[in-house]
Amino acid sequence: MNSASNLSTLADKLRNDIRSLVIMAALIGGLILWFAATGSTDRVIYRGVDQAWAEPGRVYLKTEPSGHYMIERNADFAAMKVGCVYDLSYDVQFGRHQRANRLKTVRKASLVGC
């Protein structure tokens, strides 16, 4: 009888451990999805278009501090004024060996002040 109660206790413990692992995996997955959906934001001073890089439908931005930002030719880009401060929201990339100088694709440019 003692071994039967030990097996029952062991089964309950295993069930609780599995439940905890599933909850932890769901929370980590939700956090990753949240970061992927919201992206990341940098506050920069817009210094104009980088003429050295040309690509149809896209513009490379010169900013201070220097960053590697690319934006689609859209209403956000058309409204940008040289010398103004912007919050640039861009896509986040996950994984190892991410370079600090990687190209950042801007989703949205929000004016902070001029």
Tens of pLDDT along 53-83? 777 888 999 999 888 889 998 888 889 999 9
Q: Is the pLDDT of residue 84 over 90?
A: yes
* Pairing, β 69-72 against β 104-113: parallel
pLDDT: is 85 or 36 the higher one?
85
- CA 71 – CA 88 distance, rounded (Å): 10
Q: Mark whether 17 and 73 lie in a shared domain.
A: no
106, with CB counted inside 10 A (0-12, 13-18, 19+), is buried
Q: Is the pLDDT of residue 43 over 80?
A: yes
Q: Mark whether 46 and 94 lie in a shared domain.
A: yes
CATH number (domain holding residue 89): 2.40.50.140
Q: What is the domain range of residue 23?
A: 1-38
Q: Mark whether 61 and 107 lie in a shared domain.
A: yes
Q: Mark whether 80 and 50 lie in a shared domain.
A: yes
Q: Mark whether 9 and 25 lie in a shared domain.
A: yes
Inter-residue contact 107 to 90 (CB < 8 Å): yes
- CA 36 – CA 28 distance, rounded (Å): 12
Q: Mark whether 34 and 52 lie in a shared domain.
A: no
Q: Mark whether 60 and 96 lie in a shared domain.
A: yes
Burial 74-93 (b: 16+ CB within 10 A, else e): eebbeebeeeeebebbbeee
User: Is-above-0.85 flag for pTM?
Assistant: no
